[in-house]
């Protein structure tokens, strides 16, 4: 995945962008940002099940608010994995 594709995904999935600390126009997507994302996902969120469930619910609601034909591949995959 390229930095541009990751940026598009974070913009398209606002909740995920918020959770991972992405700010349009000011966050550089580089090796350090990726390290921070991995740390957040696997060392912080994985241990806080209540917070993780809250994020999953927010993501689900956010994605479902997008018309089915307008969802990105990643958004559609997310919903498929929940089923």
Q: Which two tokens stand for residue 10?
A: 């974070």
The confidence score (pLDDT) of residue 12 equals 82
The confidence score (pLDDT) of residue 72 equals 87
The confidence score (pLDDT) of residue 74 equals 83
CA angle 5/74/59 to nearest 5° reads 110
Tell me: the pLDDT tens digits for 16-52? Answer: 899 999 999 889 999 999 999 999 989 998 899 999 9
Cα–Cα distance measured from residue 44 to residue 58, given in angstroms and rounded to the nearest whole number? 18
- Give yes or no for a contact between 3 and 30, defined as CB atoms under 8 angstroms apart: yes
With a CB cutoff of 8 Å and minimum separation 6, the contacts of 31 are none
């Amino acid at each position: 995945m390229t930095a541009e594709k990751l940026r598009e995904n974070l913009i398209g999935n606002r909740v995920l962008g918020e959770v991972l600390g992405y700010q349009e126009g000011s966050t550089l997507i580089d090796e350090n940002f990726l390290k921070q994302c991995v740390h957040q996902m696997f060392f912080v969120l994985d241990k806080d099940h209540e917070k993780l469930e809250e994020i999953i619910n927010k993501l689900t609601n956010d994605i479902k608010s997008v018309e089915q034909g307008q969802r990105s591949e990643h958004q559609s995959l997310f919903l498929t994995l929940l089923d």
